[in-house]
Structures are given as structure tokens and as C-alpha cells.
Amino acid sequence: MLRIGIAVEVILYCASLGRDWNYLFASHGGGLISRQASEILLSSESALVPRLSWLVDLAGHFHISESTALFLTWLALLDAALLLLFGLFTRGAAIATWFIHLAAVKSGGLLSYGVDNFTTIGLFYLILSPLPDRWAIDHRSRNVPLKDQQLHAFFRRVLQLHLCLIYFFGGLAKCLGLGWWTGESIWRALTHPPFNVIPPEVLVHWRILFPFASISTALLETGYPIMIWPRATRRLWLLGILGMHVAIGLTMGMYLFALIMLVLNLAAFGPGALWREE
């Protein structure tokens, strides 16, 4: 679930930015926001975080122009994600996807948002987890043996705890804001460009549901680390969280964000809650 879901997420990320990749990441003012501006801010945090300039400078030693180097970087990310999708050279594909994606996200830090951070989290867990899995081509066709399943369970447990922390503090922040008790925060989110995909007249017609939706969201997130563990409530809470992210994707046009959150939740708690754990 994690391998295939993350691969699809990155493939869609590449597809969504394909035409604008060079425009977004060009340096010296050639792009929407100079890549150098983001990387200067990044250097003040750490000099070790991957960035696209490393790959562009490497290509420059072979007399490859910046635009060509950026295109090759996009193509390398897409190819690595495709290998990851099919489970071919899985470990190397996971590392390459994580490195190039992280470099792109950090070099475009002024344009990135939550989906990029959560994709990075998913890729990080993937490169540390036992690979290949039983559905990967590496195992089925190349006879690469499966790794210790106890190690697999360990990394899945860490991912579960990580999600519990994310949802709890996200929900707590919502509970502390007055707008999440009155529905005003959801109104603002749905009417703020570029997330205003629903016509205003439709929102006005259904405004009575906003307080219910916002309070339910805050309680779902805050109660996540408590209600996701007992068998009696795990499936209900997981379905509630999945429904919440589907609603966010459809009503705000945040499809990639919804997808990565669905993938992380299904990889962490899907086995045993929505299908039989093997």
C-alpha cells in the first residue's frame, strides 16, 4: 500500500508540474520565483538538505544547460516513481525518488505546502522499510527474498505513532481556534482562492452544516490517537478520517493532499481494520 500509493502520488506530482517544471525551478529570475531565493533560505537552516542546484551544477560539469538539466531531473523523478510503482529495483528506486523529490520540494520551498511534507514523510518510511514486498516485481520475477516481517511491523508501528502525533496536534490547534467551533474556518477555507471550487451560492445554501463539519473535523483529529487503537472504534475512526480527506480533496481541489493522506492512513491502519492482516 505504501509503495504503490507513494509511487502514484509522485507520478501525479510530476504530471501536474510537467509543463511548468522549468518555469518553477529556473534560477536568476527566469522562473516564477527564483530557485536561488528558496535555496538561500534553505542554506540558513542546513547545508546538507538536498536541492536541485546540486544536480544542475553536476550537469554543468558535462556542459549541460540548466533547462536541460531541470528536464532530466523531472524525467529521473518520473522514472524512479515508475520503477517504484512496479517494484523493480525497489530499494534504489525508493532512495532516488525520495532524494529527487526532496530536492525539488526544498528548492521550491516558497511554493510548497503540506502535501509535499507528507509525501516526504511517506518516502522516508519507505526507504527504511523492508523491501521488496510480496507484490513487487523484484520478488515475483527476480526472486529477491522478502525481508524480516518483524522489521516491517516495527516501521509500520512508527508510522502509526507519527500519524497519531500529527492528527492530535492538528486537532488541538483547531480546538483552540474559535472559528472551528462556529464553522467560520471552513467557510474561509472554501471561499479562499484557489480552493474556491464550489460556487458561493451553493455554500450559502448549505452554510448550516459548517459548524457540524468543522466540529466533527476537530474531534476526529483530536480523538485519532485514542480511538484508532481499540478494535471496537478503529474501523469507524479510520473511515471517518478517510472520508474527511476525500471531502477535502473534492471540495477544495486538493487532490494530491487527499491522496497522500489516504495512502498513509491505509498503509498504517488499513490492515486489520479494513482488510484481513496477513
User: Do 107 and 174 share a domain, yes or no?
Assistant: no
User: Do 23 and 132 share a domain, yes or no?
Assistant: yes
Please state the φ and ψ torsions of residue 271, each to the nearest 5 degrees: -65, 125
pLDDT at 37: 66
Contact partners, residue 176, CB within 8 Å, separation at least 6: none
pLDDT at 161: 97
| Residue type at position 182 | T
pLDDT at 99: 95
DSSP states of 102-139? HHHHHHTTTT--HHHHHHHHHHHHHHHS--S-TTSHHH
Contact partners, residue 116, CB within 8 Å, separation at least 6: 105
| pLDDT in 10s for each residue of the chain, 278 residues | 999 999 999 999 999 988 888 888 877 655 556 666 666 666 666 777 788 888 888 998 998 998 899 999 999 999 999 999 999 999 999 999 999 999 888 887 666 677 889 999 999 999 988 888 888 998 888 777 777 667 888 889 999 999 999 999 999 999 998 899 999 999 998 998 888 899 988 989 888 999 999 999 999 999 999 999 999 999 999 999 999 999 999 999 999 999 999 999 999 999 988 887 76
If one counts the domains in the chain, the total is 2
User: Do 226 and 249 share a domain, yes or no?
Assistant: yes
Task: List pLDDT tens digits, range 220-235.
Answer: 999 999 999 999 999 9
Q: What residues make up the domain containing 97?
A: 1-147
271 pairs with which residues across the strands? 275
Residue 239 domain-assigned?
A: yes
Cβ distance 241 to 224 under 8 Å? yes
Residue 187 domain-assigned?
A: yes
Residue 218 domain-assigned?
A: yes
CA separation for the pair 74, 22 (Å, rounded): 9
User: Do 208 and 116 share a domain, yes or no?
Assistant: no
Distances from the Cα of 188 to the Cαs of 89, 191, 206, in angstroms? 45, 5, 14
User: Do 135 and 184 share a domain, yes or no?
Assistant: no
Please state the φ and ψ torsions of residue 130, each to the nearest 5 degrees: -65, 125
Residue 234 domain-assigned?
A: yes
User: Do 10 and 95 share a domain, yes or no?
Assistant: yes
Residue 71 domain-assigned?
A: yes
- From the centroid of its chain, how far is CA 6? 8
User: Do 87 and 22 share a domain, yes or no?
Assistant: yes
User: Do 117 and 169 share a domain, yes or no?
Assistant: no
CA angle 180, 181, 183 (to 5 degrees): 65
User: Do 9 and 141 share a domain, yes or no?
Assistant: yes
| Residue 253 burial class via C-beta count within 10 angstroms: exposed 0-12, middle 13-18, buried 19 and up | middle
Among 147, 178, 208, residue at a domain's last position: 147
User: Do 41 and 133 share a domain, yes or no?
Assistant: yes
pLDDT at 173: 94
pLDDT at 29: 53
User: Do 82 and 198 share a domain, yes or no?
Assistant: no
User: Do 99 and 173 share a domain, yes or no?
Assistant: no
DSSP states of 240-251? HHHHHHHHHHHH
